[in-house]
Structure 1
Amino acid sequence: MAAAAMNMQTQSAKIRKDLRQTFRNKRLALSTAQQMKAGKQLVKQFQEHAVFQNAQNVALYLSFNGEINTQALIDHLWSLKRNVFVPILHPFCKGQLLFQAYTPNTKMRHNQLGILEPVLDVRYVCPLENLQLILTPLVAFDTSGNRLGMGGGFYDRTLVALQNKKHQATVAGLAHELQLTSTLPTETWDIPLPYILTSSKLYSFS
């Protein structure tokens, strides 16, 4: 039985790895112009839905590796005087994220994953319980709200921490429409998202 379970785990891991590569390739095939257009349309979708409108402290991410362009949304939030926070790899707790204030003047660096992040300054780190809206990246999502991430588990751990705090932050994934698939393989640690926002619509799973 143990060998059979191990084999199933191995097969599931391979399927998830293959899916990540497939959907990353789809994202990377988009041109710069397509990415810019998607980013602007994402802002329009964001403006249309009341669920996003009252959050003052907003966590999102800097686009990387073909992820939907978030810069236009960041600019929009800045124009509304919202507080924007982006993730930093925790320097002491492996696999964990911190969220630090991000402004046009924030000093940045590349972390070990090659992703831009603010230079750590604990004065500007926002506790999870003070965030009202968390917008997560993803590689793929399905019609039940399941999210396939890059495999590092950073956002999975963040979502678990939110559940443990019983915090009521709104959580939504951001994606291109082409990242939607009918069903994704899931693991016990996966937490479905209540919302996915794309450049063309809001998917609600709550």
Structure 2
Amino acid sequence: MAMPVSDPQFLNDQRKALRRTLRQRRRALTKAQQRQAGEALCRRLRGLPEVQRARRVALYLPNDGEIDATPLLAWLRRRGARAYLPVLRPLAKNRLWFVHYHAATPMTRNRFGIREPDTRHGAHRARQLPPWALDLALLPLVGFDDLGNRLGMGGGFYDRSFAFTRRRGPRPRLIGVAHDCQHVERLPFAGWDVPLDAIVSDRRMVRPRHR
């Protein structure tokens, strides 16, 4: 695993510049390229033992050019697994809760304009899960490298929500997903990044050595 960069300001500037570049790369993909990449990603995911075993799976609705993992939904449903979407927790700053998602789920937009289940509905409040109750979570990435280091959007929502996975005990498997064009040779590593069990793109898979 790479050593974290010691100068916080230098690290922050590096990561901001990389975010701009890599977000532009994924936005530049055509709709056909996006669709093909999402289908290829899901074929790879379906072959992973931790995905095959999982019964409570968190994924996300793609935004800002993120790779689309939703083709996995029908496959999960056929296997008797449940899919969950992240929801911003209003009373817990910058943390996520997860709500059961299906075709009839009422949706709303959060403060970032991203679609999420509308938890004002009583039935959805009853179907909320804390992060530790999941079997598997798919995390959208902005960038990744061959060592399994990752770059997120910078808000820290997933890092805060899954910080408990650093401790011993039961925990969900965490898999980062991205377009292969978001791969870089080396990423500046931040010590607060929650380690992943794997990173999967439409063309490759990385298994970090630290897991």
TM-score over 0.5 (shorter chain):
yes
Equivalence for 2:155:
152
**Equivalent residue letter for 2:195:** P
Q: Displacement, 1:122?
A: 1.8
| More helix by percentage | 1
After superposing the two structures, state which structure 1 stretch, 106-115 or 9-18, moved more.
9-18
CA RMSD of superposed structures (Å) = 1.6
Equivalence for 2:49:
50
Alignment of 1:21 with 2:20, yes or no, is yes
Equivalences, count: 200
Question: Would the alpha carbon gap of residues 161 and 168 (structure 1) be closer, same or farther in structure 2, given more than 3 Å must change?
Answer: closer
Alignment of 1:95 with 2:94, yes or no, is yes
- TM-score normalized by structure 2? 0.89
Query: Unaligned regions of 5+ residues in structure 1, if any?
Result: 1-6
Equivalence for 1:3:
none
Please give the residue correspondences for 1:1-206 in structure 2 after superposition, counting only pairs within 5 Å.
8-120=7-119, 121-164=124-167, 166-205=169-208, 206=211
- TM-score normalized by structure 1? 0.91
Please tell me whether the aligned partners of residues 106 and 118 of structure 1 are also in contact (alpha carbons under 8 angstroms). yes
Equivalence for 1:4:
none
User: Runs in 1 of length 4+ with deviation above 4 angstroms?
Assistant: none
**Equivalent residue letter for 1:127:** P
Q: Displacement, 1:109?
A: 0.7
Question: What's the secondary structure of 1:58's corresponding residue?
Answer: strand
Please tell me whether the aligned partners of residues 162 and 194 of structure 2 are also in contact (alpha carbons under 8 angstroms). yes
Query: Unaligned regions of 5+ residues in structure 2, if any?
Result: 1-5
Equivalence for 2:3:
none
Question: Would the alpha carbon gap of residues 165 and 86 (structure 1) be closer, same or farther in structure 2, given more than 3 Å must change?
Answer: farther
How far apart, CA to CA, are the structure 2 residues paired with 1:18 and 1:129?
A: 33
